[in-house]
Structure 1
Amino acid sequence: MTLTDVVLLVFIVLLLAWAIYDEFIMDKLKGKTLLKVPLLRRNRIDGTIFFGLVTILIYNNVTAGGAPVTTWLLSALALIAIYIAWIRQPKLLFKTDGFFFANVWVLYSRIKEMNLSEDGVLVMQLEQRRLLIRVKNIDDLEKIYKLMVTTQ
C-alpha cells in the first residue's frame, strides 16, 4: 500500500466517521430531540466539482495501469462524495438546552437576537457570530418560533 492509498484510506475513514456522527450519533447527544428541521442544501456545486475531480483521478489511474487498490479507494471516496453532496439532508436539531446547527452545539443562552429576513432566512445573532438558517419548508419557521417561545 502506497502513501497515497494510506492518505485516501484515512480520509475515507474520517468522512465515514463524520457521516455516522451526523446521521446517527448527533440525534442522541445532549438529551431528547424536541424538533428536527430539514435545511436547504448549500454548495451542491462544490460536491459536483469534487466528484468530477475524483472521477478524473479514477480515469487516470485506470488508463495508466495504476494499482487496483487505489481505484477502489477513489471509488469509495466518490461514493461518499455523492452521499454528502446529494443524498444527506442537512438538519437543525433542537434540544432542551440548545440546538445543533452545522454539527455545532449552540446553547440558547448564547442567542442575543433573532430576526427573520424577507426571503425567509432565520438570522440568529450570537456573541460574535451570526447564524443564517435556511429552512427547507417555510412552515418550519413557525414551529421553531413556538419551540423557542416555550423553551425560553
Structure 2
Amino acid sequence: MTLTDVVLLVFIVLLLGWAIYDEFLMDRLKGKTRLAIPLLRRNRIDSTIFVFLVGILIYNNVTTNGTAITTWLLSALALIAVYLSWIRQPKLLFKNDGFFFASVWIRYSRIKEMNLSEDGVLVMQLEQRRLLVRVRNIDDLERIYKLLVVTQ
C-alpha cells in the first residue's frame, strides 16, 4: 500500500466518521430533539467539481494501469462525496439547551441578536460570529420563532 493509498484511506475513514456522526449521533446528543428543520444545500458546484476531479483521477489510474486498490479507494471517495453533497440533507436540530447548526453545538445563551432578512434568511448574531440560516421551507421560520420565544 503506497502513501497515496494510506492518505486516501484516512480521508475516507474521516469522511465516513463525520457522515455517521451527522446522520445518526447528532440526533441523540444533548437530549431529545425538539425541532428538526431541513436546510438548503450549499456548495453543489464545488462538490460537483470535486467528484469530477476524482473521476479524472480514476480514469487516469485505470488507463495507466495503476493499482486496483487505488481505483477502489478513489471510487469510494467519489461515492462518499456524492452522498455528502447530494443525498444527505443538512438540518438544524433544536434541543432543550441549544441547537446543532453545521454539526456544531450552540447554546441559546450565546444568541445576542436575531434578524430576518428580506430574502428569508434568519441571521443569528453570536458573540463573535454570525450564523446565516437558510431554511428549505419558509414556514419553518415561524416554527423556529415559536420555539425560541418559548425557550427564552
TM-score over 0.5 for the pair: yes
Letter in 1 for 2:114: M
**Unaligned 5+ runs, structure 2:** none
What are the equivalent positions in structure 2 for 1:35-114 lying under 5 Å apart?
35-114=35-114
Runs (4 or more) in structure 1 with deviation over 4 Å come to: none
Structure 2 counterpart of 1:124:
124
| Cα deviation, residue 69, structure 1 | 0.4
Residue 11 (structure 2) aligns with: 11
Partner of 1:143: 143
Q: CA RMSD in A?
A: 0.4
- Count, aligned residues: 152
- SS of the counterpart of 1:96? coil
1:38 deviates by: 0.2
Could you tell me how far apart the structure 1 residues matched to 2:104 and 2:21 are? 12
Q: Which amino acid aligns with 2:137?
A: N
- Matched letter for residue 13 of structure 2: V
Deviation at 1:131, TM superposition (A): 0.3
SS at match of 1:41: coil
* Counterpart for residue 134 of structure 2: 134
Instruction: Describe the SS at the equivalent of 1:106.
Output: strand
Unpaired runs of 5+ residues, structure 1, are: none
Query: What's the CA shift string for 1:36-87, capped at 9, x where partnerless?
Result: 0000000100100100010000000000000000000000000001001100
> 2:51 corresponds to which letter in structure 1?
F
Task: Give the structure-2-normalised TM-score.
Answer: 0.99
